[in-house]
Homo-oligomer: A and B are copies of this chain.
Amino acid sequence: MDTLVLTGSDVAAIAAAVSLDRLMDEVIAELTSDLRLYHPATTRIYPRRGFEYQIPRVGLLEWMPLLESGRTVVLKVVGYHPANPPQGLPTVLGTIHVYDATNGHLAAIVDGVLATALRTGAASAVASRVLANPASRVLGIIGCGMQAVTQLHAIQRAFHLTEVLVHDLEPEVALSFIDRTSFAALPIRVAAQEEIERRCDILCTATSVPVGEGPVVSGRLLQPWLHVNAVGSDFPGKTELPVSVLRQALVCPDFREQAVCEGECQQLTAHEIGPSLDELVREPASFASWRERLTVFDSTGFALEDKAVVDVLLAHARELEIGTRLQLEGGRGDPRDPFAMVKAISASSALPREAEGVIASSRPTIT
């Protein structure tokens, strides 16, 4: 049994072959379907856990597990290291691992960089379709790193945007965002934060604001129908929105158990938290009246999103025959002999007598 490996180049090749628009549309559709069908009895998801550290720099490495009962385990292992970009590496690096839940076989490893950006964008599109005003035209973006690119792309796939206003603490990052998103063929301009807050219909915050230094939004003079996707990668203690905004809004987490630990929901009590993303998707009509009012999608990123994007990517990889198949796991030959492959290699590369010696001698070493 082999393991299908999709590198970053393979995922990019799939996106190039399929087109980014179709790929984003498919991830949005797959995630919508997965959310609609989600039931904890058949799909078990644990809140992610990981190592947070300050040495040598602020960072986090965590794992996000999902079991689809009797079928697969999807485990994304993902790092969040905001000091990475000046060194040429993305803030969010990761890989998604897919296991056969009938025998433990590692069926696939998929680079998680573009996949994470795609599914995080898709999640905002799914939430915005339920909660944002359908006539939304102006998108605001605060924080213009990698995740902001797919926020724009996904929201554009779901709304007739006419204008995009962006802001970043680093002016050159905001400027480069305009180049990075030229594919959108939209008027995109750097704006003061006040103008963004006052004018946008949909706002995406995608910042690396450090713990204790939020919020990144003032919350003054917002449009009454504003929908906010609070996306910035999440960390216990890190928040992007002021509690005054959250208390006026319907706040919908992607995955409640996780959002109360590291999302905007950290700032709320249990009864102040609204329905989760799967509830929104199952009954959008119940929440239609909120399209005229202030709403927040508390996006922490969760394993169902990773499953959706990896399912889409693997289906294309098989059809397009993209990727590398590795005989990764040992134990072939005799499933009860850990040395079977060693013996086979030794036997084929040396005289039988010497080979036996190479494998193991019988002299114990006492220390």
Residues of chain A at the chain B interface (Cβ within 8 Å): 1, 5, 7-9, 11-13, 15-16, 19-21, 24-25, 44, 46, 49-51, 53, 55-57, 59, 61, 63, 65, 67, 69-70, 73, 75, 77-81, 83-85, 87-95, 97, 99, 101-106, 109, 111-114, 117-118, 129, 144-146, 149-150, 153, 156-161, 173, 176-177, 180, 183-186, 324, 326-332, 334-346, 349, 356-367
- Alpha-carbon distance A84/B186, docked complex (angstroms): 55
How far does the Cβ of A114 sit from chain B's closest Cβ, in whole Å?
A: 5
Q: Tell whether A118 pairs with B65 under 8 Å between CB atoms, given A84-B103, A103-B59, A361-B21.
A: no
- Alpha-carbon distance A304/B134, docked complex (angstroms): 54
Give the chain B neighbours of A359 by CB distance below 8 A. Answer: 16, 19-20, 183
Q: Which listed residue (B7, B20, B335) contacts A342, Cβ 8 A?
A: B20
- Alpha-carbon distance A249/B53, docked complex (angstroms): 40
- Alpha-carbon distance A360/B20, docked complex (angstroms): 5
A-B contact pairs, 26 of them (CB 8 A): A1-B89, A8-B330, A11-B330, A12-B341, A15-B342, A19-B360, A21-B365, A25-B365, A46-B49, A50-B65, A51-B101, A75-B77, A77-B99, A79-B104, A79-B105, A81-B102, A85-B336, A89-B104, A92-B104, A111-B330, A146-B335, A160-B364, A176-B336, A180-B334, A183-B362, A184-B360
Give the chain B neighbours of A16 by CB distance below 8 A. Answer: 342, 345-346, 349, 358-359
Q: Tell whether A337 pairs with B69 under 8 Å between CB atoms, given A93-B104, A362-B186.
A: no
Give the chain B neighbours of A13 by CB distance below 8 A. Answer: 345
- Alpha-carbon distance A73/B24, docked complex (angstroms): 32
Closest to A115 in B: B330
Give the chain B neighbours of A53 by CB distance below 8 A. Answer: 67, 69-70, 101
Q: Which listed residue (B88, B89, B118, B331) contacts A338, Cβ 8 A?
A: B118
Q: Tell whether A55 pairs with B79 under 8 Å between CB atoms, given A8-B329, A113-B329.
A: no
How far does the Cβ of A355 sit from chain B's closest Cβ, in whole Å?
A: 8
Q: Are B335 and A102 in contact (CB under 8 A)?
A: no
Q: Are A104 and B81 in contact (CB under 8 A)?
A: yes
Q: Which listed residue (B144, B340, B358) contacts A336, Cβ 8 A?
A: B144
- Alpha-carbon distance A247/B356, docked complex (angstroms): 43
Give the chain B neighbours of A59 by CB distance below 8 A. Answer: 101-104
Residue among A15, A20, A329, A330 with the most chain B CB within 10 A? A330
Q: Are A75 and B63 in contact (CB under 8 A)?
A: yes
Q: Are A335 and B49 in contact (CB under 8 A)?
A: no
- Alpha-carbon distance A56/B340, docked complex (angstroms): 29
- Alpha-carbon distance A63/B360, docked complex (angstroms): 31
Give the chain B neighbours of A73 by CB distance below 8 A. Answer: 51, 61
Closest to A44 in B: B51
Give the chain B neighbours of A87 by CB distance below 8 A. Answer: 103
Give the chain B neighbours of A361 by CB distance below 8 A. Answer: 19, 21
- Alpha-carbon distance A327/B59, docked complex (angstroms): 22
Extra inter-chain contacts (12) besides given A93-B331, A146-B336, CB under 8 Å = A1-B89, A16-B342, A16-B358, A20-B359, A61-B101, A63-B75, A90-B336, A145-B336, A158-B367, A180-B337, A180-B340, A183-B359
